[in-house]
Amino acid sequence: MTNTDSKSTHLLRVAVFISGNGSNLQAIIDAVTNNQLNIEIVGVISNKADAYGLQRATQAGIPAVALAGKKMHTFEQLASKQLIAWQADMLVLAGFMRVLSAEFIHSFTGIMLNIHPSLLPKYKGLNTHQRVLNAGEYYHGCSVHLVTPALDSGQVLAQGIINVQPNDTADSLAERIHPIEHQLLPLVISLFSRGDIVLSTNSQNHTIANLRNPLQQLPLQLIL
Ligand code: GRF
């Protein structure tokens, strides 16, 4: 079998961690169903037993595991075993509200992505929408980035931007940013699955992502 053959037959095996509603998980599921994303979603893990995203996974026939009410160390041990059993190549944090340890992040040898509701590196952490309003920002948005042990600080791969309107509230910002997240996350996953984004290690032994062909035409993001 040639390299190209093996590439075309191996679908990227993607696991997703969630804590709640799972609308970003749904966007990934829908993109797969609509043939916009050629990956296998191998399983979903939630740290909350009542996360609605677990039902979304089950409805789509995807293994769904609740590891609820556990200390983080125990959660990570069980989750690691599950990721190995699923042979996950990629782990997507899609509304996963716990902070993973450096040990866990380093132990996962695949690609780890997070979706965060701000224009990183601004507004890491929680309550991003209210903090953006308090600061009187003109722009807000969401970012997909590589996960590193420092919270919301890994390499940013893609962003969606909105204008903050004078009458915006934290809720209206969340409502306008969510649909952009739902486009952005599947888009970045698809760039990895097609081999258009590749990971390498730099001289400081840090993992970095690059476009395979830097001159390639990528979809441009509109500012809305
Ligand atoms: C999203 O806004 C995401 O950016 C943040 O948590 C939210 C999750 O939403 N990390 P959902 O559970 O995917 O609907």
Query: What CA–CA distances, in Å, run from 215 to 69, 104, 210, 212, 218?
Result: 47, 35, 11, 9, 9
How much is the pLDDT for 1?
37
Residue with tokens 């209206």: 172
How much is the pLDDT for 147?
98
How much is the pLDDT for 223?
60
Tens of each residue's pLDDT in the chain, 224 residues: 344 444 457 899 999 999 999 999 999 999 999 999 999 999 999 999 999 999 999 999 999 999 999 999 999 999 999 999 999 999 999 999 999 999 999 999 999 999 999 999 999 999 999 999 999 999 999 999 999 999 999 999 999 999 999 999 999 999 999 999 999 999 999 999 999 999 999 999 889 999 888 777 776 666 65
Nearest CA to ligand 1 atom 12: 22
Task: Compute the distance from residue 171 Cα to the ligand 1 centre, in Å.
Answer: 13
How much is the pLDDT for 222?
60
Task: Compute the distance from residue 74 Cα to the ligand 1 centre, in Å.
Answer: 24
Q: For residue range 106-152, what is the model confidence (pLDDT) as tens digits?
A: 999 999 999 999 999 999 999 999 999 999 999 999 999 999 999 99
How much is the pLDDT for 39?
98
How much is the pLDDT for 112?
98
Torsion sign over Cα 77, 79, 83, 86: positive
How much is the pLDDT for 219?
66
How much is the pLDDT for 4?
44
**Reported pTM:** 0.94
Strand 111-116 relative to strand 139-146: parallel, antiparallel, unpaired?
Answer: antiparallel
Marked catalytic residue, from 106, 116, 129, 182: 116
Q: Phi/psi at 133 (nearest 5 deg)?
A: -65, -45
Query: Does 20 sit in the ligand 1 pocket, CB within 6 Å?
Result: yes
Residues 6+ apart with CB under 8 A from 40: 11, 12, 13, 14
How much is the pLDDT for 221?
63
Query: Does 23 sit in the ligand 1 pocket, CB within 6 Å?
Result: yes
**What does the alpha-carbon distance between residue 19 and residue 165 come to, in Å, rounded to a whole number?**
29
Query: Does 24 sit in the ligand 1 pocket, CB within 6 Å?
Result: yes
**What does the alpha-carbon distance between residue 136 and residue 64 come to, in Å, rounded to a whole number?**
40
How much is the pLDDT for 6?
44
Strand 139-146 relative to strand 64-66: parallel, antiparallel, unpaired?
Answer: unpaired
